[in-house]
Structure 1
Amino acid sequence: MAQGKWQEIAGAAAFVVCLIVLSGCQNDQKSTPQPDSASISIKSEKVKHEERLEFERCRKAAESGDAVDQNNLGVMYSKGEGVEKDQIQAVKWYRKAAEQKLVEAQYNLGEMYATGKGVKQDQKQAVKWYHKAAEQGDAKAQFNLGAMYEQGIGVTQDHKQAVEWYRKAAEQGDDKAQFNLGVLYFKGEGVKQDHKQAVELYHKAAEQGHTGAQINLGGMYSTGKGVKQDQKQAVEWYRKAAEQGDAKAQFNLGTMYAQGNGIKQDQTQAVEWYRKSAEQGITRAQYNLGVRYYEGKGVEQDKKQGIKLIRKAANQGHELAKETLKDLGENP
């Protein structure tokens, strides 16, 4: 195989849309640190006792009509804290609190309908309760409602409505909403296409650690869409996502190293990042890594390992990998 005969696939912006993310039940209590030992699966008797006491306190208050404790009781039933897990009971208590217009309960009830926990799955009902919570300013409900409008889940697809609800959540700092709104601005769906606005929104989400936004922001800098082209900035944002384990970003970062684009060319680093991406199943990374093993580029030459990786990509439908195997006289 002659050096460079098979062209490697260059990195590119990965414009992806985040789907609905259900954030879990809400209550009025602060979250507590998670145990870092074997106790994570076996609660101590002291903790169990405290949970049972709290459950009884919530139950009495809930039965007296306290909306906050009705919601908290629902959370305890849903999680099995102080009582045996019972999603039907969770729905019952969320509903009581939601009917008293408690925003956390409205969101939680919407989630139960969306996921079919404790109640027959009903996306229209999910929309109804998310809408009630969203109108009261709940950012997670606003985001979920936007996602449902965007995808036409439980409601007629309406990108303008999606933009409206994403915007409300984004203005409250919700990184998922900032990202999704950025994607809609990039694509011009439900709003006039505006790459500069997309960059601004990606930036806000990226600074909060949203990997999709970091990748897309890297892509915008790399291509010069909505911002002055700057390969060094592209590398920086790809790296942030790659270090969080994002496989697409790892591939893109590997390609930047391979090409010396925005950073000093380093084939060893290219191999390292392609390997991380390949291990997560990215076929382009598997192929590029295979080519490097076959040619001994950035890694000690190992033709068997190279063919193995190229075949792995080919078996997942990678067309260039299939062609390469054919050229090498290897079976798929």
Structure 2
Amino acid sequence: MRILRSISIWLGCLTWAAGASAQISLTPPAAQPPAGKPSAKQETPDETSKEAPKPKAPAVARKPAAPPKPAAAPAPAPARAPAFEDPNVDLVYGAYQRGLYKTTLDLATTRALYARDPKAMTMLGELHANAMGVKRDDAKAAEWYQRAADAGDREGMFALAMMRLAGRGGRVNREEAVKLLASSAKLGNPKAAYNLALLYLDGQTLPQDLRRSAELLRVAADAGNPEAQYALATFYKEGTGVPKDIDKAVRLLQAASLADNVDAEVEYAIALYNGTGTPKNEAAAVALLRKAARQNSPIAQNRLARVLVSGQGAPIDKVEGLKWHIVAKTAGKGDPMLDEALADLSPEDRAKAEAAARKWIGSK
């Protein structure tokens, strides 16, 4: 079967959701002015009295109305908590994304020391492991990853596992790496599941178990990991650890190619070109081959060269075909059939193809 890609170190970046809550302040309505006191009662003449009516008593003067009370000032907004006390603040990740690694280091250190934030610990491991804002220090990186892993952070577990496999920050410890990968995968880390699947596949660190490898690849593939999708596609294509199923293989290749996995793009293009496990579509196949060729896949470059030489799926263009063939040969991928097909090019066309190939190689 196709040899899968070797395990590569992948250091996950932490993310915190940036939450914001709207503040609503209610201002109490102004106080209503008190009503004036009623005037004193007026005497009325007794209709049965024979005496002359007495003059009316003057009305008691009203007191002036009290001025309205000023409206109560809104309560001041509460002071914002320090960053390390607010789990929704993503100042650390924001600084990291902008390349402000010294700021990231300071903020992450504060969160790790005062808030015991495991994601900040993983970030500190990342910074020390990759010399971002601080000198590279594998031992310190491993120490921070260990603290994050002990606190239950799946990314810290994964990063420490990869360091243990590579012997960075300490001696090689495959047994510890396997345990860390298993714990990280159990917490839903697709990269951990993918790399653990490769260990079950190669049969060196762990006894080879193709079925268990396929199960782990399926976990990672379902989580959207394109490398796992491509690897599981090859399992279904060849019947490794799973029943052979071309249709499932092609669907996985399609998913991985949509995520820009170059190997999947080439395999899916070939399936489209031949109509294997999917309706035949030469135009779409050639478009994918062009994309993969520009991503420097020698296999795609030679496949595209064959299409351009034969004119099946695209107009004949032997100069362009020879250009891609020369580029692929420079990367160590020859094709005797293309050598023969292009041998009859005129010196002028060959010179054009060679110049185009040099320009492409020089632009990389």
Could you tell me the TM-score, scaled by structure 2's length? 0.70
CA distance in 2, matches of 1:172, 1:17: 23
1:74 positional shift: 7.3
Is 1:15 the counterpart of 2:1? The answer is no
**Hey, what does 2:213 align to over in structure 1?**
198
Q: Secondary structure at the match of 2:134?
A: coil
**Hey, what does 1:75 align to over in structure 2?**
92
1:98 to 112, 123, 127: 112
Is 1:152 the counterpart of 2:167? The answer is yes
Kindly report the root-mean-square deviation, in angstroms, between the aligned alpha carbons of the 2 structures: 3.2
2:266 to 224, 234, 251: 251
Deviations 1:12-53 (A, max 9, x none): 7461245233333555x4379xxxxxxxxxxxxxxxxxxxx9
1:280 positional shift: 1.2
**Hey, what does 1:121 align to over in structure 2?**
136
CA distance in 1, matches of 2:294, 2:204: 34
CA distance in 2, matches of 1:239, 1:275: 16
**Hey, what does 1:311 align to over in structure 2?**
326
In structure 2, the CA distance between the partners of 1:73 and 1:252, relative to structure 1 (3 Å rule), is closer
**Hey, what does 2:312 align to over in structure 1?**
297
**Hey, what does 1:35 align to over in structure 2?**
none
Deviations 1:62-95 (A, max 9, x none): 7xxxx536996972894599xxx86445434533
2:151 to 136, 140, 165: 136
1:250 positional shift: 0.7
Identical amino acids, percent of aligned pairs: 27
In structure 2, the CA distance between the partners of 1:312 and 1:151, relative to structure 1 (3 Å rule), is same
CA distance in 1, matches of 2:101, 2:214: 41
CA distance in 1, matches of 2:265, 2:159: 29
The amino acid that maps onto 2:180 is W
Q: Work out whether residues 77 and 87 of structure 1, in 8 Å CA contact, stay in contact via their aligned partners in 2.
A: no
**Hey, what does 2:194 align to over in structure 1?**
179
The amino acid that maps onto 2:143 is K
Q: Work out whether residues 134 and 141 of structure 1, in 8 Å CA contact, stay in contact via their aligned partners in 2.
A: yes
1:167 positional shift: 0.8
User: Gaps (5+ residues) in structure 1?
Assistant: 1-11, 33-52
The amino acid that maps onto 1:156 is R
Answer 1 or 2: higher relative contact order, Cα 8 Å, separation at least 6: 1
1:186 positional shift: 1.1
State how many pairs are aligned. Answer: 289
Q: Of Structure 1 and Structure 2, which has the larger fraction of its residues in helix?
A: 1
Could you tell me the TM-score, scaled by structure 1's length? 0.76
User: Gaps (5+ residues) in structure 2?
Assistant: 21-76, 355-364
1:159 positional shift: 2.5
In structure 2, the CA distance between the partners of 1:90 and 1:213, relative to structure 1 (3 Å rule), is closer
